[in-house]
Chains A and B, each alone.
Chain A
Amino acid sequence: MKSLDLTMALVVGGLFAAGVHLMLQRSLTRILLGFIVLGHGTNLLLLTTGGADPLPQAMALTAIVITFGITTFLLALAYRSWRLSGHDEVPDDIEDRRIGDVRERADTEPTADVEDDEDEGDDGFGGGPRARGPVGSGDRRGEEGG
Chain B
Amino acid sequence: MTWLVSLPVMLPILAAGISLGLSRHGFAQRLLTVLVLSAVFVDAVLLLVAVDRDGRAEVAFGGWAPTLGITLAADLLSALLLAVAVLVALAVLLFAIGQGTPDRAGSSIVPFHPAYLLLVSGVSLAFLSGDLFNLFVAFEVMLASSYVLITLNAGAARVRAGMTYTMTSLMSSLLFLTAVALIYAATGTVNLTELAERTAGLDDGVRSALGAFLLVVFAIKAAVVPLHFWLPDGYPTAPAPITAVFAALLTKVGVYAMIRTQSQLFPREDTWWLVAGAAVLTMLVGILGAIAQDDINRLLSFTLVSHIGFMLFGIALFDVAGFTGAILYIIHHIVVQAGLFLVAGLVVARTGTAALHRLESRDSSEGAGAAEQHGTPPVVTALFLLPALSMAGIPPFSGFIAKFALLKAAVADGGTAAYLMSAAALVTSLLTLYAMVRMWRAVSSPVAGPSGHQRLTVGATAGIVLVGLAIAAGAGPLAELSERAAHDLLAR
Contact A31 B181 (CB under 8 A): no
B73 within 8 Å of A (CB atoms) = no
Residue in chain A with minimal CB distance to B189: A55
* Contact among B174, B364, B441 for A125, CB-based, below 8 A: B364
Separation of A46 and B190 alpha carbons in the complex (Å) = 12
Separation of A79 and B191 alpha carbons in the complex (Å) = 40
Residue in chain A with minimal CB distance to B169: A70
* Contact among A38, A56, A90, A115 for B163, CB-based, below 8 A: A90
* Contact among B137, B154, B160, B181 for A42, CB-based, below 8 A: B181
Separation of A135 and B450 alpha carbons in the complex (Å) = 37
Contact A77 B160 (CB under 8 A): no
B313 within 8 Å of A (CB atoms) = no
Separation of A84 and B154 alpha carbons in the complex (Å) = 10
Q: Inside 8 A of B441's CB, which chain A residues have their CB?
A: 128
Contact B365 A56 (CB under 8 A): no
Contact B163 A28 (CB under 8 A): yes
* Contact among B137, B186, B292, B364 for A66, CB-based, below 8 A: B137
Given A56-B181, A129-B438, A130-B294, A91 and B133 touching (CB < 8 A)? no
Contact B148 A99 (CB under 8 A): no
Smallest beta-carbon distance A38→chain B, Å:
5
Contact B156 A85 (CB under 8 A): yes
Contact B294 A49 (CB under 8 A): no
Given A49-B184, A123-B364, A80 and B154 touching (CB < 8 A)? yes
Separation of A66 and B160 alpha carbons in the complex (Å) = 23
* Contact among A31, A59, A80, A95 for B295, CB-based, below 8 A: A95
Separation of A45 and B190 alpha carbons in the complex (Å) = 15
Separation of A93 and B360 alpha carbons in the complex (Å) = 24
Separation of A42 and B178 alpha carbons in the complex (Å) = 6
Contact B438 A45 (CB under 8 A): no
Q: Inside 8 A of A125's CB, which chain B residues have their CB?
A: 364
Contact A42 B174 (CB under 8 A): yes
Contact with A along B152-188 (1 / 0, CB 8 A): 0011110111111011001100100110111011101
* Contact among B148, B160, B166, B185 for A50, CB-based, below 8 A: B185
Q: Which of A38-80 contact B (CB under 8 A)?
A: 38-39, 42-43, 45-46, 49-50, 53, 55-56, 59, 62-63, 66, 69-70, 73-74, 77, 80
Q: Inside 8 A of A69's CB, which chain B residues have their CB?
A: 144
A104 within 8 Å of B (CB atoms) = no
Separation of A23 and B169 alpha carbons in the complex (Å) = 12
Q: Inside 8 A of A70's CB, which chain B residues have their CB?
A: 140, 144, 147, 170
Q: Inside 8 A of B133's CB, which chain A residues have their CB?
A: 59, 62
Smallest beta-carbon distance A89→chain B, Å:
10
Smallest beta-carbon distance A115→chain B, Å:
8
Q: Which of B2-37 contact A (CB under 8 A)?
A: none
Smallest beta-carbon distance B356→chain A, Å:
7
* Contact among B163, B167, B178, B357 for A130, CB-based, below 8 A: B357
* Contact among A43, A73, A99, A122 for B294, CB-based, below 8 A: A99
Q: Which of B134-157 contact A (CB under 8 A)?
A: 136-137, 140, 144, 147-148, 151, 154-157
B233 within 8 Å of A (CB atoms) = yes
Separation of A62 and B166 alpha carbons in the complex (Å) = 20
Smallest beta-carbon distance B308→chain A, Å:
20
Q: Which of A86-114 contact B (CB under 8 A)?
A: 90-91, 93-96, 98-99, 102-103, 113
Contact with A along B357-378 (1 / 0, CB 8 A): 1101100110000000000000
Smallest beta-carbon distance A143→chain B, Å:
20
Smallest beta-carbon distance A131→chain B, Å:
9
Separation of A43 and B151 alpha carbons in the complex (Å) = 28
Q: Inside 8 A of A23's CB, which chain B residues have their CB?
A: 167, 171
Separation of A127 and B491 alpha carbons in the complex (Å) = 56
Contact B159 A77 (CB under 8 A): yes
Smallest beta-carbon distance B465→chain A, Å:
26
Contact B365 A77 (CB under 8 A): no
* Contact among B178, B184, B186, B298 for A56, CB-based, below 8 A: B184
Contact B184 A99 (CB under 8 A): no
Q: Inside 8 A of A28's CB, which chain B residues have their CB?
A: 163
Given A45-B178, A59-B133, A93 and B357 touching (CB < 8 A)? no
Contact A128 B147 (CB under 8 A): no
Query: What would be 23 A-B contacts, judged by CB atoms less than 8 Å apart?
Result: A35-B174, A38-B171, A38-B174, A45-B181, A46-B180, A49-B184, A50-B181, A63-B136, A63-B177, A73-B147, A85-B156, A90-B160, A91-B160, A93-B160, A95-B298, A96-B233, A98-B294, A99-B293, A115-B357, A116-B358, A119-B365, A122-B365, A128-B361
Interface residues of A (CB under 8 A from B): 1, 23, 28, 31, 35, 38-39, 42-43, 45-46, 49-50, 53, 55-56, 59, 62-63, 66, 69-70, 73-74, 77, 80-81, 84-85, 90-91, 93-96, 98-99, 102-103, 113, 115-116, 119, 122-123, 125, 127-130
Interface residues of B (CB under 8 A from A): 68, 133, 136-137, 140, 144, 147-148, 151, 154-157, 159-164, 166-167, 170-171, 174, 177-178, 180-182, 184-186, 188, 190, 233, 236, 292-295, 298, 356-358, 360-361, 364-365, 438, 441
